[in-house]
Amino acid sequence: MSIRTLAVGVTMLLLSLLATFPAAAVQPDEMLRDPVLEARARALSQGLRCLVCQNQSIDDSDASLAHDLRVLLRERLTAGDSDRQAVDFIVARYGNFVLLKPPLEWNTALLWLSPLLLLLIAGAGFWRYLARHKAEPAPVPLSAEDEARLAPLLGERSGS
């Protein structure tokens, strides 16, 4: 067996371990008795990323780390933390990576502004197009070949 084959095999094995996602999400035994507190925990966990399973929130994931984070979050809330304090506590441990909604900082400013910038660019492009096409340009005559091909099609256009 070549090194490459071995590497592929090992990768496959690792992936098959990672790519399991059976019965997902928050477990009944983790849930808090106080419905108000539990509702807060659920809402917060939907914004927190399960760090190992990528792009799934801890509320949706069944990875053991997600479980730990859910329990941790609930511990903080039970201890009397505000939503903000509880999230800050987790961010302090795991970094911004854990937030599914990236915070507005210098390295995400462009990300958050991008839709607006793109809209401006699109608007400017549209405005320029209209301005440039204000004057009616002389129509370029079609070649005889095109003319012959288009004639029957134009005849049908009355149908739409």
Partner 1 sequence: MLPEVGHYALIIAMMLAALQSVLPLIGARRRDPVLMELGPHLAIGQLFAIAVAFVLLVQAFVSSDFSVLVVANNSHTDKPLLYKITGVWGNHEGSMLLWVLILAVYGGAVALFGHNLPATLKARVLAVHGMIGLAFLAFILFTSNPFARLDPAPANGDGLNPILQDIGLAIHPPMLYMGYVGFSMAFSFAVAALIEGKVDAAWARWVRPWVLAAWICLTAGIALGSFWAYYTLGWGGWWFWDPVENASFMPWLAGTALLHSALVVERRSALQTWTILLGILTFSLSLVGTFLVRSGVITSVHSFANDPLRGQFILAILVLATGGSLLLFAVRASSLRQGSPFAIVSREGGLVLNNALLSVAAGTVFIGTFWPLVVDFLGQDKISVGPPFYNRTFVPVMAPVLLAMVVGPMLRWKRDDLTAALARLRWPAVAATGVVLFVLIMMFGTGLFVALGFGVAAWLILGSLWPLVGRLKLGGAPFDTSLRLALNTPPSTYGLIVAHAGMGVVVAGITGMTAFQGENIRLMRIGETTHLAGYTFTLRDVGKGKGPNYDFERGTFVVEGSMGRAFVMLPERRFYPVRQQSTTQAAITTNLLWNLYISFGEDNGKGQYAVRLYFHPLVAWIWGGALLMALGGALSLTDRRLRIGMPQRTPVRAGTAVAAE
Q: Which of residues 86-125 bind partner 1 (CB under 8 A)?
A: 95-102, 105, 107-108, 111-112, 114-115, 118-119, 122-123, 125
Quote the distance between the C-alpha of residue 33 and its chain's center: 32
Q: Does 155 bind partner 1 (CB under 8 A)?
A: yes
CA atoms of 102 and 111, how far apart (whole Å): 9
What's the closest the beta carbon of residue 12 comes to partner 1, in angstroms? 6
Q: Does 137 bind partner 1 (CB under 8 A)?
A: yes
CA atoms of 122 and 128, how far apart (whole Å): 10
Which of the ranges 23-31, 70-78, 82-90 carries the binding residues for partner 1, by CB under 8 A? 23-31
Instruction: Find, among 17, 104, 14, 20, the residue nearest to 56 by Cα.
Output: 20
Which of the ranges 66-74, 82-90, 136-144 carries the binding residues for partner 1, by CB under 8 A? 136-144
